[in-house]
Every structure is written in C-alpha cells, then in structure tokens.
Amino acid sequence: MSSNNNHHDHPKENFIQSYIFSVDHKIIGIQYGITSLLFLLFGFSLMAIMRWQLAYPGTEIPIVGFLFGEGGVLVSDQYNSLGAMHGTIMIFLGIVPLAVGAFGNYLVPLQIGAIDMAFPKLNAASYWTYFVGGVIMISSFFMPEGAARSGWTSYPPLSIFENGQTIWLISMIFLITSSLLGSMNIIVTIVQLRAPGLTWMRLPIFTWAQFVTSFLLVLAFPPLEAAAVMQLMDRVASTSFFLPSGLVMSGEIVEVAGYGSPLLWQHLFWFLAHPEVYVLILPALGIVGEILANNTRKPIWGFKSIIYSMVFLGFVSFIVWAHHMFLTGMGQAMSAFFQTTTMIISIPSVVILTSYFLSLWGGSIRFNTPMLFALAFLPMFGIGGLTGLPLGLAASDIYLHDTYYVIGHFHYVVAPGTIFALFAGIYYWFPKITGKKMSEMLGKLHFWPSLIFMNGIFMPMFIQGLAGVSRRLADGGQSYAHASGVLEWNEFMSISAFCLGLAQIPFIVNIIMSLFSGEKSSRNPWDSTTIEWAAPSPPVGHGNFDKPVNVYRSSYEYSVPDAKKDFKPQFEK
C-alpha cells in the first residue's frame, strides 16, 4: 500500500510510527497478543471474585473487598455485573483477539510466505478499533451506572432497562467493526498472497483454520451489529424493537409503543453467537494440528478429511443457532430442524478430533511443553464436545438449559480446550517471534497444575447442573432446596480456581525471563516443515524472509526416508 515507487529506502520512522501505529503485521500481532492476554487476566480476576462469593457466601472478599459495597460482600447487582463482564471480556476482548488477531495476524503471512497482510494499514486500524472498544468496555466499571449486568447474552427486556448496557453496546459496535476489518484482511491475504507453489491443499491446517474462522466472522457478526444498534435505540430512543406490549415494571406499566419481540433479539444474537463458538475453537484446532504433526514426526492423519470437516463445520455452524432457544416455545418443526443440524455438526468435530488421536499412533512423540498442552487439549475438548450432545437434543436440554451443566460444557471447550491450545501456540512460536527459547521446566510447572485445576473447577459443574442448580444466581443456588446436596462442591471449585490463577505465575515469569535471558533460538528449533520456520528468528523487520520463498511439497513431510534429518520442509528443494 505504498504511494511511492521505490522499494528499498524507507524514510527513518520514529518510535510512534515503528511501534505504536505500526502497519507491520508482526508488531500488530504482538500488540493484539499483549492486549488480549492482559484482558484475559482481568476477566479471570472477575471470575475469581465471583468464585470467592460462591465458596464463602457472606464473607468479605480479600484484597479487593473494599471496592464492593456492604462490607466487602457482593450484592447481586455486582455479582451479575462480574458475570456478564467476565463472559464478554473473555470472549470478545480475550480469546478472539488472541486467537485471530494475534496468532492470525502474526502467523498467517509467515505461513504462506508473504511479506505482510494484504492491507497493512487496515490491519493497524483493526487493532486500534479493538483497543478503543476494549477501553470503552472497561470504562463501564467506572461509570455511574456501572458495568453491564444482563449476561453476555444481553436478553431484552432486562437489558433494555438494566444499568450499564449502553456502554456495552457501544463497545460491541467497535469490537465487531474491528473483527470485520481483521477477518476480511485475513481472507484476502490467504487467497492472494500465497507463495509460488503453495496450492490450497498444501496450506497448513493452522492457515486453513484461520481462513474458515475469518469467513465466520465476516458473515455472522453483522446481524449482531444490527441487533446492537436496535437495542441501543430501544435504550436511548425509546423504540420498542424488543419490547412487547403490556410490560409492567415495579408495578407500573412501561410507556413504550410495544409490539416488539424479545425473540427477535435472541435470533439475531445467536445467529452470531453460535458461529462465534466455532470462531473460538477453530484456531485452537489449527494450532493443535501443527504441534501434533511436529512432535509426532508424522504427517497428520487424514489431512484432507480435517480440511473438509473444518469447511463443513464452518458452513453448518450458521444453521444450528436456535439450539440455544429450545425453551422459547418453538414449534416441533423448528425444534426438529435445529436438533438435526446440531447433531450433524458434531460429525466434523468428531472427525477432526479422531484424526488427531489417530495421528499419535506410531509417532515418535516428543513431550515438550507445547506438545503437553496440545495432547491435553484432545481429551479436554472431547469432554467439552460430548457434554454438548445432551444440550443439542431438546428433550434433555429442557432440563439442562441455563444450569451449571451448560457452564461446565462450554468452559471445558474454551478453557482446557482453546486456552490450552493458545498456550501451546505461545510456547511453540515464542522462539520464532522473539528469537529466544522458553524454559521447559517452567513450562511443565505451568502445565501440570493448570491441567489438574481446570478439571477441579469445571468437572463438578456437571454434577451441580444435573442436580438442577441454575446459572447466574448471585447466591450460588443457596435459596433452592434441590441444590443443597451439591453446593458443597463450590469451595472445592473455588480453591481450584485460585490455584489455577497461581499456576499461571510460572508462565508469566517464563515469558519475561526468556525475553531477556532466554537461550537464543535458531531459525527452526522444532525441526518443523511449515514456511514460517524459513524466516530468521525473529523474522526480518520489513519483508519477513531473507530469501524468496518457493513451496515444493505439502506441509507435513515428516519421517521421509531420504531426508537429511527426519523431515523435508515445504520451502526447501
């Protein structure tokens, strides 16, 4: 996107141009990475406060208790705010920017042998839009109304009249715009900027995953943007998009035109939010694929089936959304349709997971830190996926909907699922990004407690959910007799959560220490086959590679008989 003709002389850029408003995808990827990791930490802290309340109801919250009224104990409004903001921040400010904004932006151009993304300035714009959206979202905590508290799902009529929602909606508009710009950039980059010889079927799984994910973001987010505008108008312009007639609040009739529909919000929201969960998992599946191939020293089993499954998954993800709405009084035909499509969508996930398990068979497995996280991902994602099945069938969902079972299900997929894959990716690509190696010892110290405590938090949730404990209860279910037998798990789960937090300390220490005094890394420390390892570590500032990239074979030529070592990189003759 340069407006002058010369290629090699750049005017000397100042600090602001080079690092703050950089248009280099590597800097932007790092910006996304740091910002999203900080947001993840913040979102985690919100949950830790909630979990204290659930474990020790009525007691003062340590350290930050002074921020909350009533003697350091959460009142229900505050609990609800923490809940809604935890979900929102983890998904929209944490995972998606990390998985797509950070990993996608940094690695896709490198993996396809390109010098940058197709639209570098647009890339910078998408980061800064995300940043502004994030600031707005966090600022809601400091506003007089307080932060949003109607769930991350923001269902009307509650969300129309509850506090904090207006800022949430404005922030979402920025975040959605950022996402649209970023994903459009990724699609054009992958289609147009692949190196010579890099055909579609030679693309690594990671890049395919980013490609499908970007389509989901481009096509599924806009209806939510439309719905957010409508909800904003309901709040500030007194429209009745989502408000039915005859609403009574605090004993008084609500003076609105009426004839609106809360169901309309649910349809438009879930039209995005279902593909959104595949946005959360697909990049993770991509990362795991790379690391498994590399550390089994074998090509991934069923590469083509995996790719077709990812594409099919992306497609079907658009027609399953109403399985979140089984309890809204839908008729038999619709219920049957959505149950069927939901069952169908489990097939590609199973194909991918099974292929990954089969890839391990006969492999020369190296148990380094990225591999440990990638291996743990497999059964964890399996549990997450399997526990989704009763939720996709209306008969069982009627009982399990909005219980802790649901929370357990989706956290298994996202927490020891996606987040583990993202950790694996950070350990795997850290040498490429920084030119330094991370400590294996600290990595293992991070991994094992994290795995144990993740299960400690989320496994009992299935027990609580099956007993009928509803989600989003500020008192944790204490006022319900049917919950009494299972609430004793709360203390165990909360302690697991706090220990999980402590288990992240080795990770943070590892990153900082390795940045400054880590062992220098070679170009290809993991002996990998994909193109990003052709670049120096870290890659060349402008242009990534120090010689032209050509691709000669598919992405996972490991254990090739006549190779110099035990692999043939894509980029070497």
Residue 545 beta carbon to other proteins: minimum distance, rounded to whole angstroms: 11
**What is the SS3 assignment for 540?**
strand
Q: CB-side exposure of 368: number of CA atoms within 13 Å?
A: 21
C-beta atoms surrounding 327 within 10 Å: 11
C-beta atoms surrounding 337 within 10 Å: 14
CA distance 162 to 156: 9
When asked if residue 233 is in the footprint of other proteins (CB under 8 A), the reply is yes
Contact between residue 35 and residue 97 where contact means Cβ atoms under 8 Å apart = yes
167-196: contacts with other proteins (CB under 8 A): 180, 184-185, 187-188, 191-193
CA distance 457 to 373: 18
When asked if residue 197 is in the footprint of other proteins (CB under 8 A), the reply is no
Q: Interface with other proteins by CB under 8 A: which range of 42-50, 56-64, 323-331, 449-457? A: 323-331
- Residues in contact with 534: Cβ distance below 8 Å, sequence separation at least 6, in sequence order: 113, 523, 524, 545, 549, 569, 571, 572
When asked if residue 120 is in the footprint of other proteins (CB under 8 A), the reply is yes
User: Binding other proteins by CB under 8 A: which of 166, 261, 305, 478?
Assistant: 261
Q: Which is nearer to other proteins, 91 or 217 (CB)?
A: 217
When asked if residue 239 is in the footprint of other proteins (CB under 8 A), the reply is yes
Q: Interface with other proteins by CB under 8 A: which range of 67-75, 256-264, 365-373, 388-396? A: 256-264
When asked if residue 260 is in the footprint of other proteins (CB under 8 A), the reply is yes
When asked if residue 395 is in the footprint of other proteins (CB under 8 A), the reply is no
Contact between residue 534 and residue 569 where contact means Cβ atoms under 8 Å apart = yes
How many residues form the binding site for other proteins (CB under 8 A)? 67
514-543: contacts with other proteins (CB under 8 A): 542-543
Strand extents, DSSP E, 153-239: none
When asked if residue 397 is in the footprint of other proteins (CB under 8 A), the reply is no
User: Binding other proteins by CB under 8 A: which of 35, 116, 129, 503?
Assistant: 116
Tell me which H or E stretch contains 248: strand 248-249
343-362: contacts with other proteins (CB under 8 A): none
C-beta atoms surrounding 94 within 10 Å: 26
Q: Which is nearer to other proteins, 63 or 257 (CB)?
A: 257
Residue 267, amino acid: H
When asked if residue 250 is in the footprint of other proteins (CB under 8 A), the reply is no
Contact between residue 359 and residue 301 where contact means Cβ atoms under 8 Å apart = yes
Q: What is the DSSP string of 115-172?
A: SS-S-HHHHHHHHHHHHHHHHHHHHGGGSTT-S--STTTT-TTHHHHSTTHHHHHHHH
User: Binding other proteins by CB under 8 A: which of 72, 115, 170, 550?
Assistant: 115
Q: Which is nearer to other proteins, 116 or 532 (CB)?
A: 116
Residue 245 beta carbon to other proteins: minimum distance, rounded to whole angstroms: 6
Residues of this chain that bind other proteins (CB under 8 A): 1-5, 7-8, 115-116, 118-120, 180, 184-185, 187-188, 191-193, 215, 218-227, 229-230, 233, 237-241, 244-246, 253, 256-261, 263-264, 267-268, 271, 315, 318-319, 322, 329-334, 337, 542-543
